[in-house]
Amino acid sequence: MKKFWSFIAVFFTAQMAFAQHVEVKTNPIGFAFGATNLSVEVPIATHPNVTLNASWWHYSEELRDWVDTERIGGASVGIRRYLISDIDEGLYLGMASRYMNRLVRDYDWNPNTGQTTYTETPSDYASLGFTLGYKVRFEERVSIDLFTGAGRILLKQAGGEYYAPAEWIAGFNFGYRF
């Protein structure tokens, strides 16, 4: 595992050394509620209005209990094309693949004893979908990125329940360009 994280650190360091506009994004409001996330967006050198995007996020136990969600965390990799700009700013359309780590809790109440028990079943899934968003840049280094999208669940781990074959996403991030 240590070799894996060392490789990731060297890879991103090399990317930052050679790339002119690496943007690191997060949502500080999410941090306040226990949803940690980090995204990296890098323009493709030959087409500055096309970018590669990678994201990671994790939900704290307190947040999962508070909003009663089964999601633990996940990761996403995608590509974006900015439609009305020659650079990575403005309206964009993207395609992304996502992996979601879930743990489904099934509750069972026993009327004879009055006790509630639950079982936890791993229920991870992977999806492929699109995003539509808008990014505003300030002072060439700071940005706000608002997005929404939908995805089709393609692969899922046995166990747990799925309420629909699709997922909906939305969010916003604050970014800083190096």
Instruction: Give the pLDDT band (50/70/90) at residue 41.
Output: very high
Q: How far apart are CA 99 and CA 76, in angstroms?
A: 6
Q: State the pLDDT at residue 160.
A: 53
Kindly tell me if the per-residue pLDDT of 124 is higher than 90: no
* Domain layout of the chain by residue ranges: 22-177
- Quote the pTM value: 0.75
120-124, 151-155, 167-171: which has the minimum mean pLDDT?
120-124
Q: Give the rounded percent of residues in the chain with a pLDDT score beyond 90.
A: 32
Is the pLDDT at 52 greater than 80? The verdict is yes
Q: What is the mean pLDDT of the chain?
A: 82
Are 23 and 175 in contact by the 8 Å Cβ rule? The answer is yes
Give the integer Cα–Cα distance in Å for 83 and 172: 19
Architecture of domain 22-177: Beta Barrel (2.40)
Q: In this predicted model, which residue has the larger pLDDT, 1 or 23?
A: 23
For range 144-169, the mean pLDDT: 79
Please check the confidence at residue 77 and state whether its pLDDT lies above 90. yes
Q: What is the mean pLDDT of residues 1-24?
A: 58
Q: Which of 38-42, 46-50, 66-70, 111-115 has the lowest mean pLDDT?
A: 66-70
